[in-house]
């Protein structure tokens, strides 16, 4: 009986610790969200394979960052809900990059979504 009670207490504490950690992570994620009311000014990037950008050093924090792989290339998609980029103002912008070494990134696609207000 004591062994069952000890296991129950251990399981309860583990569940409580896991729930607390999850709540703390959710709180941290919400505290760094960028307000979509203010457009983010994005730097001008050339869409050529010869350009190499160290994105972690200068890119503004995106609203969403998706990363993955396609074969040996690593991919990153930066999504900004409201941005100023090149000649486009106040649009949703998606910038897609690829890399072979996870440090030097090249832009290969730009997408713009204009709101119809």
CA–centroid distance for 58 within its chain: 14
To the question of pTM greater than 0.75 for the whole model, the response is no
In this structure, what token pair is assigned to residue 49?
Answer: 């394979």
**3-class DSSP state of 16:** helix
Dihedral, CA of residue 98, residue 100, residue 102 and residue 104, to nearest 10: -70
Convert the pLDDT of each residue in 12-28 to its tens digit.
555 445 545 444 444 44
Per-residue pLDDT reduced to its tens digit, 48-106: 878 999 999 999 999 999 999 999 999 999 999 999 888 877 789 999 999 999 899 99
| Strands 73-85 and 64-70, sheet pairing | antiparallel
């Amino acid at each position: 009986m004591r062994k069952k009670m000890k296991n129950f207490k251990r399981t309860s504490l583990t569940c409580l610790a896991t729930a607390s950690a999850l709540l703390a992570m959710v709180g941290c994620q919400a505290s760094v969200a960028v307000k979509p009311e203010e457009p983010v000014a994005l730097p001008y990037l050339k869409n050529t394979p010869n350009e190499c950008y160290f994105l972690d050093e200068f890119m503004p924090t995106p609203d969403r960052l998706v990363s993955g792989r396609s074969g040996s290339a690593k991919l990153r998609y930066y999504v900004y809900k409201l941005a100023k980029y090149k000649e486009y103002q106040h649009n949703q912008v998606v910038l897609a990059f690829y890399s072979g070494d996870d440090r030097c990134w090249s832009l290969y696609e730009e997408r713009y979504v204009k709101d119809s207000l």
